[in-house]
Structure 1
Amino acid sequence: SAGAGFSASISQSKLNFRYQELRNGTKNFDTSNKLGQGSYGTVYKAVLPDGREVAVKRLFLNTRQWIDQFLNEVDLINCLHHKNLVKLLGRSTDGPESLLVYEYYFNKSLDQIIFDHSRAKVLHWEKRLDIIQGVAEGLSYLHEESEIRIIHRDIKASNVLLDDNFKPKITDFGRARSFAEGLIHLSTGVAGTLGYMAPEYVFHGHLTEKVDLYSFGVLILEVVTGQRCSSEVGSQGRKSFLARVCN
């Protein structure tokens, strides 16, 4: 079954986390420890009994669809090793719900800095360029250098974490898809975040690396301008983010 390979190796002590310890470490998933939301779950900061800080992802619902995405992330990210991708530490399966455990990054996600006027000041142009380059290197690895060819499908500011030195780490692989060698594109259901999705993917459902590249282009504009791609649209009667930038 999906995730079976990783399930076998998860029994190793360094990859296996006890549910109760993670629950206690998040103070029973208290909102004060909430770090953000992924494509199918909420992420919390947890402090383990030994004092180590980790990030814990909890499913929204324990339905077949969410569990499939959970196992998809486990399978994919367990095969990936790159300095600009988030590191999976393990998971917990001994409780009433399955949890993923990742490295915790002090500066949290990129969106929490670049869209906050007071915090954005710490990101001078050199650091912003480093973030853009780091995300590009992570995508290049996913598309061309890893053992399996992977399209992330949800590149956005909230899915880029920043470590103590503001180095970027791409996270949230629940919507990612792998390609067999030689395929030009996949025909699949559309998934992603409005504002970041390539128009041709939305209309035709043809998945290629260009889907990630379009999202990456929007992300670059956000990093440079400090404006959200989804802001000031619709009811306010203003031009969309991309229309304003292009003008």
Structure 2
Amino acid sequence: MKTVFLTFLVLITLPAFAQEGEILHDGLFWGIAGTNITKQNSPWGVDLSVQNRMYKNFSRLQTILGTVHLNYRRPNQPWGFAVGYIGGVFEPLGVLHIAQGRINRFGTLANGKIPFVARLSYDRLWANPIYETDVRTPVNHRWRLLGQITPPITKKISGFLAFEPFIIRRGLWFSETRGQAGFRFLMKNANLDVLYFNRWLKPINERDLTRFEHVFQVIYMHRIQFKSNKQTENSTN
């Protein structure tokens, strides 16, 4: 597992040194805290979260975003889908809006030992400028294909490896891919992910410039599950 993790970490940084023209490196921090709310034996669930993003080598607040997703997945079934909205003030675009749809495939590898997730996502992004200095951007459309595995290391710690190419993107920026590597800490009714990932962004009107972002991400997700009505009735009898 250690060899796989280190190899993957090296591979996802190689594109930073394989680009032609000027390369602008930047360090970012993304912090996310949220909750997943479900009802026992119900296929429906809701994810709520808040995230902040620091950029310019962790020195400046870029945005605080609120997110909400409605999830559907029948118990013990591999397929599920979700629709959601992400919004907040995003420097230097103004008020950012993202409408999102996802199709998820859950399963395991290595005879059930390694959980995996495959996901196809569609995002529609647009922004409403606030100040005259805000960048005017057309509506962005993008498709993303995610592959993610979380191989267990100990009873309470798993590895986290993911690869997510951007299939199509139109608008101000063209983003090619993301690679993620890190650890998932398993807690009672919660997960804590500590990750590194990067992405390289190319402005459409500046072909010789590549913006390569090194992102350190911390995600805390709490789980809340309500008992079904039948179980509540039985417990009171």
Q: Same fold (TM over 0.5)?
A: no
**The structure with more radius of gyration:** 2
Normalising by the smaller structure, the TM-score range is: under 0.3
Structure (1/2) with the larger strand percentage: 2
Question: TM-score, normalization: structure 2?
Answer: 0.27
Q: TM-score, normalised by structure 1?
A: 0.26
Between structures 1 and 2, the one with greater helix share: 1
Which of structures 1 and 2 has the larger relative contact order (alpha carbons within 8 angstroms, sep 6+)? 2
